[in-house]
Structure 1
Amino acid sequence: MHTVVIGGLTIGGDAPVRVESMLKTPVADVAGCRKELEALRKGGCELVRVAFPTKETAPMLEVLLRDATLPLMADIHFDADLALRALDMGCPSVRINPGNMPKRDLARITATAVASKAVIRIGANSGSLNNKQIEDAQGDRGRALVEAVKEQARLLLDHGFQDIILSAKSTSVRETVVANTLLAQTYPSLPMHVGVTEAGSGMDGLVRSTAGLSLLLAQGIGDTLRVSLTGPSIEEVKAGFSILRALELRMSGVTLISCPTCGRKRVDVAAIVEALRRELDSFPEGLTLAVMGCEVNGPREASHADLGIAGAPKGVVLFRRGEKIAECSSLDISRIVEELKRVLEK
């Protein structure tokens, strides 16, 4: 499989599925962008898309490119001059729609990208489909998305440019899955970015994104992902890594599992989980922690956990891989969390 490199970040091939996001702060607000980029960096984000809407914002983008600690991708929709400007400033990747640009300009863009070893991401979403694409696909918007991306890919490939990332997104999970499955079959060697666009906010947004991404990632489709949520960009990154952990594709961070509780519970599982969640940054990468409500099914059901807590008649028991290793007679949540950390250090 063909791989691409954006600012030292390898995408495609045997590289892990990358988690990316997009700045919610306008590029004109350099201080705000810096603050958001730093939060994304600390959260593990690996690639950040930045809207580059006008030539007046070029100096601001140039400052961000100079200071960036994460690879950036300039997002441009219609203006070929902006794409060229971003590449000339040293932006390692741009996102464009080749169909919106004259062929002469596209030749200049691909030539500049080759010279600067930059990557071009192309793609379509359900809102950009035209009537002909939908009619040719006999009303199947998922297939229409594929045709739209193929039109764009041909324009770049005809110019001999191959450092491409493909993308096809819809608000509909079904359309997204159909489009990306067909694209993966059509271009098996090209890296793909996956996501459900305009997924929404809160639980609905998370469920919609997870449903679509899981169906694709479980088939091996997708080399980078974005969970497109209405909310802080760092929440998109957290959700992305959580999905990858659930699918056992990447074990970045700590996996925290807990029982749903029932009438047998002896401890406040929800409160302990929330207390541990605030401490996760202090635990080792790749660790699986379990919080179970009782000793009856606690250690057994969570026997795969590296470390766990289960309610007991006189407090809690701590276990490792299903085996009891310590007890704590207190039901004070802070004491339980401290005991867990002490056992982990030991």
Structure 2
Amino acid sequence: MIKRRKTRPVYVGNVKIGDDAPVVVQSMTDTKTHNIEETLSQINRLHEAGCEIVRVAAPTEKDAKALPEIVKNSPIPVIADIHFSPRIAFLALESGIHGIRLNPGNISDEGKIKEILQECKKKNIAVRLGINSGSLEERLLEKYGYPTAEALAESALYWSEFFEKVGFTNFKVSIKGSDVLQNIQANKIFAEKTDIPLHIGITEAGPSGKGSIKSAVGIGILLYMGIGDTVRVSLTADPVEEVKVAYQILQSLGLRRRGIEIISCPTCGRIEVNLPEVVKKVEEKLEGETLPIKVAIMGCVVNAIGEAREADIGLACGNRSALLFKEGQPIKRVSEDEMVDQLLKEIKKMKESGKYGGAGDKG
């Protein structure tokens, strides 16, 4: 059991972050925000995939002016991503937005930041204080020579103290870079010194395959250490993939359960069925299913029965057939040709029973 770091609560709209809340999954649209229809379409897709908070880019006045319509029609809280321009920040704050992301590395005027925070407090708008290795303040680059973990943590601590000095506490912090070990260390230093909730992730992680692995390592280690109240997996891919990978990471650590978890053994010379094909078919048929259950598809007698018994439902395969297990008990033997259909039929029954949470999320 992972013992999570105790943090104070922050609210982005109606979504609680920190304290005793489950780790929240976020993503960001890749549309031009001023294209309202396209942006809302993507937000709805993200919501269906399990995204709980969405960030949208607001680099221009045109984007900021689109925010009221987006906020009004979004099924989940919306955060405006603000860089460089305090003027656009103030426009965004008039839109009904649930949160804004501020990066002091590119809005360095403390007076303007104070004004933005005061307005956020009036309107009960949350702030994500974003510290990135690619936009660290000049004073820290001069002190450390390059963006070290210590430099990133020092920046986050400085600005957190600044926020609190001006009376603003409804904020979370993100400390991100593309270097996994640097990222872990920077977040660890910060986490040991405050109770401020942390949004974690590996920024610029890369394309889907490599980026997912890099994110799983960096995010997974931090979560195992109890650090992290909300996550984004940053991929050069469809944002929906970010949400899927985030839940897979959380599920692997027992922190959230959403959708089917397939347990299947590697291929080896003992297998007596076409296991890769069976797993592929099951995975394709269950794509998008939100029922939070564990499905074991095992290829031989060595571990098959044990793993199948431990799952909610499973196939223990061998000799061109399989024992179909449900809730730890064998219910029937099925041939290789019918095993996929029979497994799916039983999963459908499980969903219809309502016993397993239907389209719910355990965590």
TM band (smaller chain):
over 0.9
CA contact (8 A) 1:76 1:94 kept: yes
Q: What 5-or-longer segments of structure 2 have no aligned partner?
A: 1-6, 354-363
- Counterpart of 2:122 in structure 1 is 115
Q: Pick one of 139, 159, 162 that aligns with 2:166.
A: 159
What does residue 149 of structure 1 align with? 156
Report SS of the residue matched to 1:60.
helix
User: Per-residue deviation at 1:83?
Assistant: 1.4
Correspondence 1:1-346 to 2 at 5 A: 1-98=7-104, 100-130=107-137, 132-137=139-144, 141-187=148-194, 189-280=195-286, 285-332=291-338, 334-341=340-347, 344=350
| Deviates further, 228-237 or 305-314 | 305-314
Q: What percent identity do the matched residue pairs reach?
A: 34
Deviation at 1:278, TM superposition (A): 2.8
Shift of 1:102: 2.5
Q: Secondary structure at the match of 2:256?
A: coil
Higher mean displacement: 98-107 or 112-121: 98-107
Using the alignment, how far apart are the partners of 1:56 and 1:314 within structure 2? 62
Give the Å deviation of 1:334: 4.8
TM-score (norm 2): 0.89
How far did 1:133 drift?
A: 1.4
C-alpha deviation, 1:12, in angstroms:
0.5
CA deviation after TM superposition for structure 1 residue 279, in Å: 3.2
Report the Cα distance in structure 2 between the residues aligned to 1:286 and 1:130, rounded to whole angstroms.
44
Alpha-carbon shift at residue 62 of structure 1 (Å): 1.8
Contact conserved, 1:125 with 1:170, CA < 8 A, in 2?
Answer: yes
CA shift, 1:308, in A, is 0.3
Instruction: Indicate the larger mover: 81-90 or 240-249.
Output: 81-90
Q: Is the 8 A contact 2:322 2:339 kept in 1?
A: no
**Alignment-mate amino acid for residue 84 of structure 2:** F
Q: How far apart are the structure 2 equivalents of 1:240 and 1:282?
A: 14
List per-residue Cα deviations over 1:141-190 (Å, max 9, x = no partner). 11111112223223212211011110110100011001000110121x21
Report the Cα offset of residue 197 of structure 1.
0.5
SS in 1 for 2:309: coil
> Does the C-alpha gap of structure 1 residues 141 and 248 become closer, same or farther in structure 2, counting only changes over 3 Å?
same
Q: Give the Cα separation in 2 of the matches to 1:282 and 1:129.
A: 39
**4+ residue runs over 6 A deviation:** none
Structure 1, 314-323 or 209-218: larger mean CA deviation: 314-323
**Amino acid in the other structure paired with 2:173:** L
Q: In the aligned structure 2, how far is the partner of 1:280 from the partner of 1:194?
A: 29
Q: Shift of the alpha carbon at 1:139? A: 5.4
Amino acid at match of 2:291: E
Cα distance in 2 for partners of 1:282, 1:22 equals 20
CA–CA distance in structure 1, aligned partners of residues 199 and 329 of structure 2: 42
Contact 1:275/1:337 (8 A) holds in 2? no
- Secondary structure (helix, strand or coil) at the match of 1:73 reads strand
- Give distance in 1, aligned partners of 2:237 and 2:100: 24
Unmatched runs of 5 consecutive residues or more in structure 1: none
- For residues 283 and 340 of structure 1, the distance between their equivalents in structure 2, rounded to whole angstroms, comes to 14
Pick which of 68-77 and 272-281 moved more: 272-281
* One-letter amino acid matched to 1:162: T
In the superposition, the TM-score normalised over structure 1's length comes to 0.93
Q: Secondary structure at the match of 1:49?
A: strand
What is the root-mean-square deviation of aligned Cα atoms in Å? 2.1
